[in-house]
Structures are given as C-alpha cells and as structure tokens.
Structure 1
Amino acid sequence: MIRMLLRVLGHEYARPVRRTVALMTATAVVEGLSYALLVPVLRALFGSRPEDARPWLIAFGAAVAVYAALRYVSDLSGFRVGTTLLRGMYRRLGDHLARLPIGWYSARRVGEVSVLASEGVLQAMSVIAHLLAPFVSACVTPLTIVVVMLAFNWQMGLAALVAAPVVAVIQIWTGRSMAAGDAERAELGHEATGRVIEYLQAQPVLRAGGRSAERFRLLDDSLREVQRANRRTVLSALSGAVGLTLVVQTMFTVLLVLGAYLALGGNIGAAEVLAILVLAARCADPLLSLSDIGGKVRGARSELARLDTVLRTAPLPEAREPIQPVGHDLEFESVAFRHGDRMVIDDVSLSVPQGQRLAVVGPSGAGKSTLLQLLARFYDVDAGAVRLGGVDVRAISTEVLMEQIAIVFQEVYLFDGTIEENVRLGHPDAGVAEVRAAATAARLDEVIERLPGGWATNVGEGGALLSGGERQRVSIARALLKNAPVVLLDEVTSALDPVNEAAVHEGVERLMAGRTVVMVAHRMRTVRRADRVVFLDGGRIVEEGGHDELLRRGGRYADFWEISMTPAAGD
C-alpha cells in the first residue's frame, strides 16, 4: 500500500511518509509495552505487600503519558502529511490530465475521472490521515503484547502467538475474496452514475413522448446490479469478520484454560495469569477492528490503483530540445490518423501560406474537425507530419504551440465565473482597455450592456446562463484578446439565429484579419472569404482550389455548394 502510494505520488514524498509510519509504529509499540507494566502491578496488588505496586503504577502512568505524547505527534504528522499528499495528488493529477491526448477523454472516462478526482482522491489520501494509525496499531500493538506475554510465560505467549498466522491468513483470504467484488462494485457504480446522467438528460425526450412518469428501465437495471454487487460484498466481508471473531474468542478461551491449568499446577501465580488474560483481552479489540479497518484500506487501495492507472497513461511526448517556429505558415505532409479502427485522415498533404485563409468543407464525418485538432496537437499523427512555421508541432513545446494558436469551437465552453473572467482567459495580464477593445470587436459589448450585472454577470457552468450566440461572442473576444498569429475556426455560426450570426461574422472577420486561418465550414457562404478551399471526404482531399475555380469545375464541391445554397422545399 505504501509502495503504491509513493509510486503514484512520487518519491519526493517518501521521507515524510516513512517518518510518519515510523512514528505510528513506535506509538503502537509503546502502547503494547505500557500494558506489560500491568503484570508487576497486579502481582504486587495480589501479593502480601500491595504498597509495592506504587512504583509500578507510577511507571505505568509515565508510560501512558509517553504513549499519549507519541500518539498526538504521530496523529498530527499523519494529518499534515495527508494534507500535503492531497495537494500533491491534485496537482499531479491535474498536470497529467492536461497532458493527455484529447482522444483519451471518452464520455465514459470523463465520468470516471470526475468521480476519481473528487471521492477517489479523498478516499485514497485519507489512508495517511485517518486509516494508517489505527491499522498500524491493530497490527503492531497485539504483536508487542504477545512478545511481553512470551517474556513472562513462554507457554501462554506461544499459545497466543499461534493465533497470529491464523489472523493473517483470514485477512489475506478476506482481502482476496473481496477484491473482485470491490472492482465489480466500482464498475457498476460508474455505470449507474452514467445511467443517472442519461436519465436526467433524456427528460425532454421522455416528456415530449408523454413518458415522464415511466421508470427508466436501463437505470433500474443498473441500480439493481449495484444492489446485488453490494450484497455480495457484504457477504464476503461478513465471513471474514465472523472468522476473525471466532479466532480471537478461541485464542482467549485457550489462554484461559491454559492459565488455569498452569496455575493449578503451581507453574505460575494467579496474579500473573490474571495479568496475562488482561493483556490478551487488550489484544482482542485491535484485532477485531482489523476487519473494518482492512475493508477501508482495501477500498482506498482500489482507488489508489485507479489513480495509478490514470497516471500511467502515456501523455503526448514533449520534445527534449524544443524548436521555436519561424513564421506562421501551416503544412500537412502525407498525414494519416486513425481513431480506434477507423482511418479518419488518410494521406493528406496541403499547405497554408502565412496570412492566408484555408476553408475545409465536406460531408459530416469527413475528418474536417480532426484536421484542426491535429494542428493544435490534441492528437499526434500516426504517419506524416504537421508543421507550423516549418517545424513539426511535435518538436514545439506545448506552451509555445498554444501561444501561437487561437481556437474558436462550434460548441463553446465557458467556466463558471463572470464574463470578464472568461474573456481574460485569452490573456490574463491584459489591461482593462485591451479587454474592452476585444469585447467591442467581437460585439460582446452589446450583450454586456443589456445584462443587469454587466461585466460581472455570472455565465453559469459551461456558460448555461447565456445563449449560444452570446457564448460565441465571449469566445471570439477571448480569441481576439489572445492575439495569436494562427486562428482555427470550427464553424462558429452553424447553430445561430440571423442576428447573432451577423454579429459573430463581424467578430470573426476582425479575428481573421492578417492571420493564418484554417476554418471548417458547414455553411457554405463562409467559404467565399477563404483564399483556398479543400473538399474533404472519407479523410482524403477530393478537390482543392479557389472557390470560383471549384465552381467552374463542376465537381463534388460544386454539387455540395448547389445543395447547400438551395432553399429547402416550402421556404
């Protein structure tokens, strides 16, 4: 457990963790040794001179005081190290997630990571702060007491020692039997969480179909599976807890019978038997707590294993000696990219001179948005090269690459904060005048004027409190404020009403001025602003050239243009 914890966090945390474990072990040993003083205390009390117990009682009080001080120091160390590890884990997890390829973030993984980053991290890091001390005490204190018992009477000490391997076997057996159940329960729990989200998102469809009062069968089935998995887990834990209780009670009974036999034979005094039985009783509590503590530790270990799996996922590699791009021209050279079993981009070669605009058009699923993602290095190509300023994007540091590119997506995500905070993401150190100028250029100022809170208006999670057109204007203002030399546009007006579309088009024109632009166009009239057009289908370039030139050819692009510009029947 500790080795996995250090592997997940990094060995820079090894020293404080080991120091805390040593403190907790020393505390548990002192606790066990303090109980050893009960033997001379009871021997004196039951002897002919009870007053001889006074020095032993003083020694016992001193030992308890030392134990209390050590317990305070070790617990405090556990809380401090636990807090440090929690901060370190969040920092490392956040840094690692930011370096993983976008393709890793499937809908299923996003749900898993959200649970892992909240409950999972807290549960895994709670080991040091809350579970390690009682676990060490439950293991070390009984063993220390057994050693004390061996020192006073080897027969009774040996009898108690026999129980140790039996307890260990039960713990190992219980852990193994529950491991599969814990994994199954976690898997089903993630699936049930997804079903709950699906049920909530499906409410408009269910209500439109008049089925809002019906139970959601997929969710019901998923929750029933979680219930069955929980029942199996409880039954697995119950057998281990019962077995552990039987072993502890059997050990105590054997010691009681053996002590009575030895006392009747004159091999040991009654006071010593009583003291050893008291020690044995003191062993019982921590041993019985092992079942509950062990279950919590196994749960934390499972979460730690999941964190380890995420952190072991290979991020996009960084160049050892990054190269600074010269210029802002773009180039695809024999690029191929596969997503799963599907070839998304197949042997694509094209170039965009600095300051020019390239429009990428084609049917849905042709690979248009993937080209933008490869330029921004959201993925690495499987073959060929993508270059910026004559340099392979894989040879440019991520920080420098992102400084060169501004991206405006069709689906805009805004963080839960004010409008100004979301605009400033493009350039956090920008002055107020620069922010206001970017907003004016994107015609965001019109939106701000009619909002009661103005710049301080909260946009809600994902920008939910703004309309689609308003979110796009924030996104364009953010890109204008960034002032990057390369602009990637993934059709930003396809879902807007005419008023917002006109405003967004005006902002986009200002954004593209003087920059190298690659735009994915779904609405064909935006293509006219491009210097060159590439028609993509099935991941391959079918046609390329100027807009008017491609119309004269009468090929796929001309057909696509005619269909897109023809009014729908009945309009």
Structure 2
Amino acid sequence: MLNTLRDLPIFEPRDLIKSIMLATLEGICMGLPYGLFVQLVRELVNRQPNYTLIIAVSCAIALVMLIRVWVTRQNTMHTGTMTYKTCATLRERLAHHFFKVPLGFFERHNSGQLSQSMNKDVEFTETIFSHHFSQFIASVSLLLTVSGCLAIYDWRLALCLLSGLPIALTIQAVMKRKANQFSESFLQGVATTNNAIMDWILGIRAIKQSGQGNNLFPKLEQQIQHTQKASIRHEIAVGIVPMLFILFSEMGFLVLLLTGLQLYLTQQVELTVFIVFLITSVRLYRALAQIALTMAEARFMQQAAKRITTLLATPTIRTKEQNLPIQGHIAVNDVTFRYSPEYPKVLDAISFTAVPGTLTALVGPSGSGKSTLLHLLARFWQVDDHKITFDGHSINAFSDASLYQQVALVSQDIHLIDDTILNNLKMVHQGLSEASIHNACQQAQCHDFIMQLPNGYDTLVGEAGDALSGGEKQRIALARALLSEAKIILLDEISAALDVRNEAALLTLLEQLKQSKTLISISHRESMVIHADNVVYLVNGQLKGTGHHEMLLQESKNYQDFWHHPDKSS
C-alpha cells in the first residue's frame, strides 16, 4: 500500500501525514484499555484491593475510550474528505492528460479501457483509502500498543502471542508476487470482457441488421462465462493468501495457551494475567485479520494504480503553444513514421506539397499508409519539427486551439456527443446563426435527411451518434468542418457512402471549397480522383508517384494496374 502511495502521488503530504497520525492515535486509544484492563483485574481479585487505584484506572479507561470516539470521528472525516477530494483531482488529471496526448492515443485505447481507468480504477483507489487505509494503520498501531502493554506484564507470553506472525509474514511475502501476477491477469480479462460488452452494446444495431446476432452472441456469452470462471479461480487462488496469513498468525494462540499453562502451573505467572492475555488475544488477532484483508484489497488497488500511472506516463504532444494563422500551404518533408519503436515503418520518406486552391488525393492499396499520413497532418501523432509544416511553420508550433480551428478532419470514425444535432454542429464555435448552419448542412447534403427526422435539428443523436448511420454522421461532420471555416480540410473517404447523384453534388462542393481552402482527401473512387489537382500514390508506406491522375496513368504501369487491374498492382 505504501508503494502505491509512492507510485501514485495523489495526496498532499500534509494531509496524508495527518491521516496517518490520527489513525495511529486511534489504534493507541483502542489498545491502551487492554493494558489498563490487566491492572484493573489484578486489583479486583486482590484480597486487599486498592479502590483508589481501581477508580483511577476505570476513569483512565473511560477517558481513553472517549478520546478514541473523538479521534475516530476526526479521522473518518479527514480521511474521507481527503480521499474524495484527491480522487476527484485524479480524475481531473486523467481527463486533462487525455486532452494533451496525441489523438492517435485514442485509436490504441478503446473507450472501455479508458472508462475503466477513470471510473473503476479510481473507485478502487477511493474505496481502499476511504475505508481500509485508516483501518490498516489503526490495526498496526493497535497491534503494537497491545503487544507493548502486555509485554510490560509478561514479555514471554507477549512473544508467544505473536509467535505465528513471522511465519505469516514470510508466507505473505513469498505468495505476494504470484498473487499480484494472478490479479493482473484476471483484471486484464475483466477489462477485455467489459470492452466486448461495450462493443456489443454500441454495435447492436449493426449486428441485428447483419443478421449475425445468433452467431455472434454465443461468443460474447462464452467470454462472459470465461470471466465468471476466472473470477471464481481468482478468488480461490488469491483468497488463500490472507487465509494463510490469518491461520498462521493465530497459531500463536496455541503457543500462548500451552506456554501460559506451563508457566501458571509452575507459578511463574499470575492466573489473572494469563486470563487477560487469553481475552486480549481475541482483539489482537482480529486486528491481524484486518491487516491481512486490507493487504489483499490493496492488491487490486496496486493493479489499478499501475494502469493509472501507465496512462499518466503516456507522452503528450510537445508544442510551442503558438497561435499562428494558416493560409493553407502544406509541406510534408521526408516523413518516416512507425507507431512504436518495435513496429515496422508505416511511412518511409514521404514528401509532397499542397497549396491553397487545390485538392490533393491520397491513393493506394489498403495498408499503404494513407490514413496514417492523413492523421499525421491532423497531428494525431507527433513527428519531428519541420517534417510537416503549414505556411512554413512546424506543425508542432501550433497550440491545439489554433491548429484545430484552422485544420478540420472529416474521418470515417465520427464521434458525436449525446445531444441534439444542432448542438453537435454548434460545437464548432458559439454564435452560429440558424441560416449559416442550414446552409452548411445543405452543402454537406445532410439538411434533407435532418428535416425528415422527428424533431429535425433538435433530434437527439444518441450515445456516440449511434442513432444515425455512418454516412449520416460523416455528412454532419462535413457540415461541422464547413462551419469551422478551416483553411485546411482533411477528408477520409467521404464519398464511400454516397450514391452517384450525391457524389456529383459532393464534387461540386469540393470545387467550391478549394477556391479558398486546401483539401487533402483519401479516395478509392477513380471518379473522385480524376478531379484532384495532385495525386499522391502510396504503396506499402512508400511514395510511388505524385502528379495529376492522367499523367500517372501514362507514366506508371503500377498506378495503371492499381485502378484497372488491382490484382497486379503492388
């Protein structure tokens, strides 16, 4: 648990020290009455009891218990307030960090994983510290206090009482690493199942429409049942650690009983002292059981903290936070990119330029790096300074606000907030007039279908826009890009869901847009590419040609095969 505090420094040191001190004092107040109880019993059974001492000890016990009530109240309030405040801060830190990481980070981490870290993992931390942390410190303090008080009366019996603890601690240390590995594997399985459930819920409409529900549901059911069985195995395997700790620590009671009888029979210890040791052992072993259970619970928190710290350690985009205007001159200079050092190159020495008033088409077979290149232009991932420039300024020089106000991406994976269509469009910036919104939607060919919805522009789109089809969401995203007044618009296969009539309207729109903007588009339709001013042809992450479509058809046999004989292109 203390290692977790070191790895996940979310608490103010002053607050944490105060919480530890209060919990320690609470444990002392719980343990002292047992030490005073020995003296009280000795006087009560004495043939000539000292009533003054009896009253004094009784008052002392009552006073300590009253102090304990106050300390417990203060500790509960302070620890609870500290935990809830700092865990809220942790969620804010995660949210703020997610805002600063490369946008490509969200392609590698699905919403289920991130949701688990921001909710369940933080909740684990919250539960441990708000309910178990103080109990752990207080139990340790109680253990030391009771042991110290009893040792004053008979150190031999005190050692017997704790004789099983070294064995219990050794077993705990030996099995801890294996249990941690088991817990990590189990929690990863739970996360996988949560992701599968979320994917099923989000995609249930498409699954039903495909008619594959009866085939796909058994796989989800199998995953859930596998997690259920893994949960039972995990409880059996990991739960044995605290059980063994409690079992071996309580073996000290047997040693205490046998040793105490021997000492009493040889008149080396008073009967009252021996009986009080037996009575007190119940409370002491209860404290040891609490310590064991808290350490077991802390194992889950350690795994949660590990996932949280891993997310917080994700490198953020390094920018100069400059607010620079963009006219639309793009230069890609010898860009080489791989998603991770151990992964192969996705792009290798790619160079091209684009200027305002033009449409550049990115074409190539699947896996050639088109989407990666488009995402690099949107700064989903970071490249070295000046590898990509806008108007001569490195893409890394722009602040997020400045960049995304002037560079708009319309991708195939569109995320809309769970709100109305109108509010999703207004996200671009406040103060948009109804006329400008309708005009942008008409240009993006989504006004007609919006007006056919039950509530028009006030229709709720559902979670992640799930109430709309992929093509409808993409056209709303295009309208949003038009409303942004961006100088650079990046388009990811926006013609895929269009029929011939709508495709012709889209071509007309692109011709209008490029008069004042720079357009970069991925397209697999030759009918779209022939209207491009420049084509960037990629194969296996390498640049195989640039120029106008007709020119490339004449100069490149490979490019010609790509369009007319795809099975021959490479």
Q: Structure 1 length normalisation: TM-score?
A: 0.86
3-state SS of paired residue (2:520):
strand
1:365 aligns with 2:406: no
3-state SS of paired residue (1:332):
strand
% identical aligned pairs:
26
Distance 1:2 1:158, change over 3 A: closer
What is the letter of the counterpart of residue 289 of structure 2?
L
Distance 1:182 1:403, change over 3 A: same
- Whether the 8 Å contact between 2:491 and 2:521 is mirrored in structure 1 is yes
Distance 1:496 1:124, change over 3 A: farther
- Whether the 8 Å contact between 2:357 and 2:516 is mirrored in structure 1 is yes
3-state SS of paired residue (1:212):
helix
Alignment of 1:292-311 (within 5 A): 292-311=293-312
Alignment of 1:134-153 (within 5 A): 134-153=135-154
Q: Which residue of 1 aligns with 2:25?
A: 26
3-state SS of paired residue (2:474):
helix
Q: Which residue of 2 aligns with 1:332?
A: 332
Distance 1:401 1:5, change over 3 A: farther
1:350 deviation in Å? 1.1
Alignment of 1:85-484 (within 5 A): 85-105=86-106, 111-193=112-194, 212=214, 216=218, 220=222, 223-224=225-226, 227=229, 230-231=232-233, 233-238=235-240, 240-248=242-250, 250-319=251-320, 324=324, 327-339=327-339, 341-381=343-383, 385-428=387-430, 430=432, 435-484=437-486
1:76 and 1:148 map into 2 onto residues whose CA distance is: 29
Distance 1:302 1:429, change over 3 A: farther
CA deviation string 1:447-469 (max 9, x = no partner): 33322223331101221212333
1:137 deviation in Å? 2.4
1:296 deviation in Å? 0.8
What is the letter of the counterpart of residue 474 of structure 1?
I
Distance 1:33 1:438, change over 3 A: farther
How many residues end up aligned between the 2 structures?
Answer: 561
2:431 and 2:64 map into 1 onto residues whose CA distance is: 60
- Whether the 8 Å contact between 2:328 and 2:391 is mirrored in structure 1 is yes
3-state SS of paired residue (1:37):
helix
- Whether the 8 Å contact between 2:337 and 2:345 is mirrored in structure 1 is yes
CA deviation string 1:49-84 (max 9, x = no partner): 485433333322221121111111111122212212
Comparing 95-104 and 133-142, the one that deviates more: 95-104
1:385 deviation in Å? 0.8
1:282 and 1:130 map into 2 onto residues whose CA distance is: 20
Comparing 456-465 and 501-510, the one that deviates more: 501-510
Q: Which residue of 2 aligns with 1:567?
A: none
Distance 1:430 1:20, change over 3 A: farther
Distance 1:309 1:455, change over 3 A: same
Comparing 93-102 and 215-224, the one that deviates more: 215-224
What is the letter of the counterpart of residue 306 of structure 1?
R
- Whether the 8 Å contact between 1:486 and 1:515 is mirrored in structure 2 is yes
- Whether the 8 Å contact between 2:357 and 2:517 is mirrored in structure 1 is yes
1:538 aligns with 2:540: yes
- Whether the 8 Å contact between 2:329 and 2:355 is mirrored in structure 1 is yes
Q: Which residue of 1 aligns with 2:8?
A: 8
What is the letter of the counterpart of residue 369 of structure 2?
G
Comparing 250-259 and 301-310, the one that deviates more: 250-259
Distance 1:256 1:549, change over 3 A: closer
Aligned alpha-carbon RMSD (Å): 3.5
Q: Which residue of 1 aligns with 2:40?
A: 41
1:148 deviation in Å? 1.0
3-state SS of paired residue (1:406):
strand
1:216 deviation in Å? 4.1
Distance 1:143 1:174, change over 3 A: farther
1:217 and 1:406 map into 2 onto residues whose CA distance is: 39
1:444 and 1:210 map into 2 onto residues whose CA distance is: 30
2:158 and 2:484 map into 1 onto residues whose CA distance is: 75
1:300 deviation in Å? 1.1
Comparing 41-50 and 308-317, the one that deviates more: 41-50
2:212 and 2:423 map into 1 onto residues whose CA distance is: 41
1:484 deviation in Å? 1.7
3-state SS of paired residue (2:516):
coil
- Whether the 8 Å contact between 1:199 and 1:219 is mirrored in structure 2 is no
What is the letter of the counterpart of residue 292 of structure 1?
L
- Whether the 8 Å contact between 1:181 and 1:229 is mirrored in structure 2 is no
Distance 1:449 1:198, change over 3 A: closer
Distance 1:232 1:409, change over 3 A: closer
- Whether the 8 Å contact between 1:476 and 1:507 is mirrored in structure 2 is no
- Whether the 8 Å contact between 2:30 and 2:68 is mirrored in structure 1 is yes
Distance 1:430 1:145, change over 3 A: farther
1:440 and 1:338 map into 2 onto residues whose CA distance is: 39
Distance 1:227 1:19, change over 3 A: same
What is the letter of the counterpart of residue 35 of structure 2?
A
1:325 deviation in Å? 5.9
Comparing 547-556 and 384-393, the one that deviates more: 547-556
1:162 deviation in Å? 3.8
1:479 deviation in Å? 1.3
Q: Which residue of 2 aligns with 1:79?
A: 80
1:292 deviation in Å? 2.4
1:253 deviation in Å? 3.2
What is the letter of the counterpart of residue 363 of structure 2?
V
Comparing 496-505 and 518-527, the one that deviates more: 496-505
1:80 and 1:563 map into 2 onto residues whose CA distance is: 68
3-state SS of paired residue (1:522):
coil
- Whether the 8 Å contact between 2:350 and 2:542 is mirrored in structure 1 is yes
1:330 deviation in Å? 0.4
1:211 and 1:418 map into 2 onto residues whose CA distance is: 29
2:324 and 2:49 map into 1 onto residues whose CA distance is: 89
- Whether the 8 Å contact between 1:9 and 1:92 is mirrored in structure 2 is no
2:449 and 2:223 map into 1 onto residues whose CA distance is: 46
What is the letter of the counterpart of residue 484 of structure 2?
K
Q: Which residue of 2 aligns with 1:569?
A: none
1:558 deviation in Å? 5.4
1:493 aligns with 2:492: no
3-state SS of paired residue (1:517):
strand
Comparing 405-414 and 161-170, the one that deviates more: 161-170
CA deviation string 1:414-438 (max 9, x = no partner): 1222212211222256566654554
1:57 aligns with 2:58: yes
- Whether the 8 Å contact between 2:162 and 2:252 is mirrored in structure 1 is no
- Whether the 8 Å contact between 1:6 and 1:14 is mirrored in structure 2 is no
Q: Structure 2 length normalisation: TM-score?
A: 0.86
What is the letter of the counterpart of residue 523 of structure 2?
A
1:386 deviation in Å? 0.9
Comparing 387-396 and 222-231, the one that deviates more: 222-231
Distance 1:49 1:497, change over 3 A: farther
2:265 and 2:433 map into 1 onto residues whose CA distance is: 92
- Whether the 8 Å contact between 1:170 and 1:244 is mirrored in structure 2 is no
1:444 deviation in Å? 4.0
Distance 1:487 1:530, change over 3 A: same
2:72 and 2:501 map into 1 onto residues whose CA distance is: 69
1:5 and 1:59 map into 2 onto residues whose CA distance is: 36
